[in-house]
A and B are shown apart, each in its own frame.
Chain A
Amino acid sequence: MERKTPLYEEHVALGGKIVPFAGWLLPVQYSGVIAEHMAVREKCGLFDVSHMGELLLKGPGSIANLNHLLTNDYTSMEIGQARYSPMCNENGGCVDDLIVYKKAEDDYFIVVNAANKDKDYAWMKEHLLEGAELSDASDDYAQLALQGPKAEEILKKVADAADIPQGYYTANFDRKIQGMDVIISRTGYTGEDGFEIYLSPADAPRLWNLLLEAGKEEGLIPCGLGARDTLRLEAAMPLYGHEMNDEISPREAGLGIFVKMKKEDFIGKAALVERGKPTIKRVGLKVTGRGILREHQPVLLNGQEIGHTTSGTFCPYLSQPVAMALIPKEYSEVGTALEVDVRGRKVPVEVIPLPFYKRQS
């Protein structure tokens, strides 16, 4: 049975098309994926991402545990800083990818994928070293994502400027927006500037409506999972279960910069050393023929399968069909002509650079 987020009634009232996703009932779209996508690229969009999981890690052994459980290095972090990392299994495949915030000394706030939350929590508990305690705080937090070039302007209308984090990938903990306790993080999954705001589920509808009202002039609209996926794909951000899974290593998924092989040890390091330099690479494909690429379609060279697409869609901002794919390195050069088997039809494609979209800063 799927759970409702604290904003379910808001989604229904706004005409959201509700679908089950990762155990939750969430809107796939309101006005339409393209309109919502473009709003985030050009103005601003508001997403309910309350389904995401929140874990807390506390204690003097926290850093040692993060460095043991995750591939990135957490040794030096400022309070308020956020840092992304894959989490590997013993074979070097991915358990999940997540973001760790340093809330205070020996006090970390970890955000994980909804679909993997229970698995991650169990995995981390099982592999926890001494000196730190892990708890699942997912039921204590709703999360709203305010994304787009107008996000800061809109947030300033409801929050104190002093509470708005200035650096990308930083967060302010224990702040208030009109009396509501919030964490404001300058992060997102759209390729735009924006904020992710964590707060009590009971307060979520009030903040949701406050933001929608405040952002009316700037063109803020509510956005669903459909646009969230096309936005992250256009920005070439990986999604667990697509670009990575329990077999694909983060290095193969193009996340090598988040894998610190020089770190003394971490779960999966030995396997990654053994697997050696990745022989496959995550690439961008654009359609040169006609058709729309989707996930898990065979990529062909001279009719032979050499890999598969991991995510694909029609990208609204670029106004063209694209996909990410995992293929052998020797065929990954930009400009290489390949084909994708789209439900039995061979569609000509070309390797192009990632990301498909990068915001002008």
Chain B
Amino acid sequence: MNIPEELKYTKSHEWVKECEDGTAYVGLTDFAQSELSDLVFVNLPEVGDDVEAGETFADVESVKAASDVYSPVTGTVAEINEELLDAPEKINEDPYGAWLVKVENITDTVDLLDCAAYEQLLEEEA
């Protein structure tokens, strides 16, 4: 399972890439995409929407089921990855390249895990 060292993780299997300008990219981890398998639909918020740490802000669907995606941070959606709307399979192919949203004006976060802690969480869940 691929767990890049430079990213932070949530217990609900999202990743966060914190940028120097205070914004953050959010995506789904390799573990999440592998559990969900074959994604065929992504529903993203709109630019300007507020997202709240620990609350659902998007949903992704595999052939079998829909799953909520939880925001690791509180803030405002600055950008969405529109490419995913037509090609949700990119999340399966490249989970750490296929970010869902970029969030700005971040005021809060859930408890974020580093790579080692996330790896441990996966081991515990296995």
> A residues near B, CB below 8 A?
28-29, 32-34, 37, 226, 229-230, 290-292, 294, 313-314, 316, 321, 343, 345
Contact = CB atoms under 8 A, between A and B. Distances in A.
A290 B38 CA distance: 17
Given A32-B38, A33-B38, A292-B41, A314 B63 contact: yes
Interface string B69-102: 0000000000000000100000000000000000
Contacts of B59: 343
A226 to B, nearest CB: 5
Q: Which of B61, B64, B85 has the most CB of A within 10 A?
A: B64
Interface of B: 37-38, 40-41, 43, 59, 61-66, 85
Contacts of B66: 292, 294, 343
A34 B63 contact: yes
A33 B43 contact: no
Closest 6 CB pairs between A and B?
A: A314-B40, A33-B63, A292-B61, A34-B38, A292-B41, A32-B38
Contacts of A290: 41, 43, 85
B61 A314 contact: yes
B77 to A, nearest CB: 17
A28 B43 contact: no
Contacts of B62: 33
Q: Which of B38, B43, B61 has the most CB of A within 10 A?
A: B38
B63 A316 contact: yes
A28 B41 contact: no
A171 B41 CA distance: 41
B38 A321 contact: no
Contacts of A37: 63
Contacts of B37: 29, 32-33
Contacts, number: 40
Given A292-B66, A294-B65, A321-B40, 18 more contacts: A29-B37, A32-B38, A33-B38, A33-B62, A34-B38, A34-B63, A229-B64, A290-B41, A291-B41, A292-B40, A313-B63, A313-B64, A314-B40, A314-B63, A316-B63, A321-B41, A343-B66, A345-B43
* Chain A, interface SS category: mixed
A286 B37 CA distance: 23
A206 B43 CA distance: 45
Contacts of A313: 63-64
Contacts of A226: 63-64
Nearest to B62: A33
Contacts of B41: 290-292, 314, 321
Nearest to B59: A343
A321 B41 CA distance: 9
A292 B40 CA distance: 8
Contacts of A230: 63
B9 to A, nearest CB: 23
Nearest to B61: A292
B89 to A, nearest CB: 9
Contacts of A345: 43
Contacts of A229: 64
Nearest to A343: B66
Contacts of B43: 290-291, 345
Nearest to A33: B63
A319 B32 CA distance: 23
Contacts of B38: 32-34
